[in-house]
Amino acid sequence: MHDIRFIRENPNAFDRGLARRGLEPQAQRLISIDERRRAIIRVNEAASARRKVVPKDLAKAKSENDEAEVQKLMNEAAELKETIARTDKEQREAEKELRDALAEIPNLPLDDVPDGKDEKDNVEHHRFGAMRNYAFTPKQHFDLGEALGQMDFETAAKLSGARFVVLKKGLARLERALGQFMLDVHTSEHGYTEVAPPILVRDDVMFGTAQLPKFADDQYYASNVAVERARRLKSDRDIFVARIETIGAKLSPYQTKNELPFAFIELPPEVPRLQAELINLQNQISAYDRAIENLEKRIASVASDLWLIPTAEVPLTNLVRESIIDEAQLPLRVTACTPCFRAEAGAAGKDTRGMIRQHQFTKVELVSITTPEQSSDEHERMLSCAEEILRRLNLHYRVVTLCTGDMGFASQKTYDIEVWLPGQKMYREISSCSVCGDFQARRMNARYRTKEGRNIRHVHTLNGSGVAVGRALIAVMETYQQEDGTIAVPDALAPYMGGVKKIEK
């Protein structure tokens, strides 16, 4: 979320930042909404101030028996009450309009981010290691996994549909080992605190890290069954109520005002049928009311209407939402290994085979909360922490700086780590490390108190994969594959594999 004060004071700089992202100017539109909001506030405050004075003036006029002045002041008081009520409503509407407009605008890139339209314009930063030479043609991970009988996409499709996988035996253990290895390195050597967060979160938590509202279609939504049943029952009940109103209108000419429910002057053939239908509908509505009441009691006792996290960045960053932290606690570094869920709404036809693009996957996430002065150095540090995982696994990779057209919505600057996959013969993203400035902090109302204690400022937030476990599994499988189809276990994972040195059928 952007600071409207910054936009008012730096409209040209704001629009230049948007232009670098390929977006149209927005500053004047936002300033116009804000000016209208501020004008409404001024009217409201003036009316509220005057409303406090009127009772004193009214008391004085009454003591002086000035009936004309009394009536004038009473009329003014009524008008002020109406003005305050109207401007309260207008202020809420203007604030919502401004908030909604700001929520749809991405973060501005830092000055050193390269300009560009898409991934083709990303700039390579550095590489580690070299591509391995094989005496055979390397296979892709899914061919290896299926041949081992330990990677099952067909059964996963029966259970859940496309873009899911069942891992078994050695590959299941290898995936678990990767997650444990990453957590151990980050917590024991890199200073991150391990957290086991909820993976179901509320709307405002998803809003805080900018998954909502713009990217709702990419998320999975979990609704309690009782909630859906109550909604359906209420919908059906509304249909019955509408039918009762229709029947009532048809029966109305045959009812007297004094005799209820039915005292008919003349009974056409359809009247008894309508009467019976009316009684039946009223009984059904009573039954629906009881069912809805019981469901709402159940709903009140359980969490419902929650989002499945697309990354642990969401709950980890929101740990500091709506709070004020002492500067001495910063930087705050946390990590988690969690399941992640993404709808991949825009991925039709992309990576349809294998584990590259799954609806459910495991990832180790790194999150840092810092002061503005610390965030740039912390970004470099986070990148090195993620790189260390791949270095210890001896995987060849490169680091690229994303251009303005390829950055994420909330990011000011992003480094991607792309691991080399010998089977695919290409680099694939395995980690993104982003600095977001105070963009997320403003959405979460996350702040800190300076050491002197005199100022309250918004924190800066950073997040990065440390790293994606599923893609690390793919990279290990393809890099450490043997000509006979087995997979050697990297030395770094040996302590987690119980003596298993290779994955074999």
**DSSP labels, 446-490:** EEEE-TTSS-EEE-EEEEEEEEEHHHHHHHHHHHSB-TTS-EEPP
What are the pLDDT digits (tens) for 358-405? 999 999 999 999 999 999 999 999 999 999 999 999 999 999 999 999
Pair 174, 474: CB distance under 8 Å: no
**Cross-strand bridge partners of residue 465:** 365
Pair 411, 138: CB distance under 8 Å: no
DSSP 8-state symbol, 340: E
Please report the pLDDT score of residue 258 as a whole number: 43
What's the one-letter identity of residue 488? A
What are the pLDDT digits (tens) for 67-85? 999 999 999 999 999 999 9
What are the pLDDT digits (tens) for 83-108? 999 999 999 999 999 999 999 999 99
- Say which residue the tokens 């100017």 belong to: 25
SS3 assignment, position 277: helix
**Cross-strand bridge partners of residue 462:** 368, 435
| Rounded alpha-carbon distances, angstroms, from residue 242 to 245, 246, 275, 283 | 5, 6, 15, 15
Instruction: Give dist(CA 335, CA 317) in Å, integer.
Output: 10
Global confidence as pTM = 0.84
Please report the pLDDT score of residue 264 as a whole number: 45
Burial of 362 (0-12, 13-18, 19+ CB in 10 A): buried
What are the pLDDT digits (tens) for 283-295? 888 888 888 888 7
Please report the pLDDT score of residue 259 as a whole number: 47
**Cross-strand bridge partners of residue 367:** 334, 463
DSSP 8-state symbol, 501: -
**If you average pLDDT over every residue of the chain, what do you get?**
93
φ/ψ of residue 255, rounded to 5: -105, 140
Q: What is the mean pLDDT of residues 407-415?
A: 97
What's the one-letter identity of residue 85? A
- Say which residue the tokens 């116009």 belong to: 32
Task: List, in order, residues 6 or more apart from 21 with CB less than 8 Å away.
Answer: 106, 108, 109, 404, 405, 407
CB atoms under 10 Å from CB of 118, counted, come to 11
Q: Which two tokens stand for residue 305?
A: 């209407």
CB atoms under 10 Å from CB of 290, counted, come to 10
φ/ψ of residue 449, rounded to 5: -100, 125
Residue 460: closest CA among 437, 442, 427, 440: 437
Pair 324, 361: CB distance under 8 Å: no
Q: Within 13 A of 81's CA, how many CA atoms are on the CB side?
A: 8
Instruction: Give dist(CA 337, CA 453) in Å, integer.
Output: 35
Cis status of the peptide bond prior to 55, with omega within 30 of 0? no
Decide if pLDDT at 247 tops 90.
no
3-state helix, strand, coil in the chain (%, to 5): 50, 20, 30
Instruction: Give dist(CA 444, CA 126) in Å, integer.
Output: 34
Pair 357, 343: CB distance under 8 Å: no
Q: What percent of the chain has pLDDT over 70?
A: 95
Torsion of CA 12, 16, 22, 25, to 10 degrees: 0
Please report the pLDDT score of residue 257 as a whole number: 45
How many residues appear in the chain? 505
Residue 278: closest CA among 252, 307, 317, 313: 252
| Rounded alpha-carbon distances, angstroms, from residue 413 to 6, 24, 293, 410, 436 | 19, 20, 51, 9, 7
